[in-house]
Amino acid sequence: MLDSAKSTSRITRLQTAKGSKNIVAMFALTSIGFSAITLMLQLVVMTNVINIARKPAPSLVQLSDGQAIKVQAVGNQDRSPEVVQHFVTDSLIMLMSWTNELPGASDDKKIPDGGALVKIKDGDRRITSPAFQASFTFSEDLRAELVKILAEMTPDGVFKGEVKTTLKFQHVTLPTLVDKNQSGKWKINVVATLLQYQQGRADIIKIPFNKEIVVQAIDTPQLPKSGKFSNELESLVYGIRQAGLEIVSMKDIEGAEPSKITVPGDKPEPANKPTTPPEKK
């Protein structure tokens, strides 16, 4: 009886050990299977990444209006010369071309421009809506003075349709870096004339507009999380600053005929600035 019990116990232990080995073997096989699947997935992902890396970057982007534009990868502070040049000329055209109609309206449906009120020392005066919009292309410390100068210059006849102005460019230089060792800030010279037409008069008033303009790169604003702007001004500022640029200085070109539009503190320094001799001790 004792031998029989021992035999039964030994058989049980052998069966238990065999069962444990089977479980370990199944677990090992399962692990190998999962590892093989993971390796295959990694190979697929790696192949796709390599294929994407070999493909040329897209050079065209289609806008919501159907227009296709060329794009290229640039650094955060880099802008192409054409982008800087167009930003400056478009801003100045909006700033200095005055009429009593809002732009973009058709000939059969013209929309009158009521302008924007600006408080000056003599009271409130108006500037055109495009000029107000273009003022946001300037840094804020310049914009505050600029809108006051524009308000003083804009004739009341503009909003009555009696006076119109347009900016005529003679020469616009390609932008050059202010500091050759650092990107993100450019200088550009604009030689132009502000032409002022008055209803019923054949003569045209010509005002020189010769400016040295400094532009710097800025971060483009982000859309609100809701996807909607809280007011019209927020939408206006967002749209005007999408170029990622702003004008930080506008002064008369040295040696050129001075302009009536000069932001205080931005007049050019003379070429041979006199120096004060040191005091004798």
Residue 259 included in any domain: no
Indicate the pTM of the whole model.
0.67
- Same domain (yes/no): 118, 212: yes
Evaluate if residue 71 carries a pLDDT over 90: no
Residue 241's contacts (CB-CB under 8 Å, 6 or more residues apart) are 136, 137, 218, 220, 221
**Residue of higher predicted confidence among 242 and 12:** 242
Residue 191 included in any domain: yes
Range among 33-42, 146-155, 220-229, 231-240 rated most confident: 146-155
- Same domain (yes/no): 237, 111: yes
- Same domain (yes/no): 118, 219: yes
**Residue of higher predicted confidence among 274 and 42:** 42
Residue-number span of the structural domain to which 236 is assigned: 78-252
Relative to beta strand 205-217, strand 182-198 is antiparallel
DSSP characters for 163-194? EEEEEEEEEEPPPEEEETTEEEEEEEEEEEEE
Q: How many domains does the chain have?
A: 2
- Same domain (yes/no): 143, 207: yes
pLDDT tens-place string over residues 194-247: 999 998 888 899 999 999 999 999 887 777 767 677 777 778 777 787 888 999
Structure tokens at 16: 């238990």
Q: What is the CATH number of the domain that holds 108?
A: 3.10.450.230
Give residue 87's identity as a one-letter amino acid code: F
Evaluate if residue 276 carries a pLDDT over 70: no
Residue 268 included in any domain: no
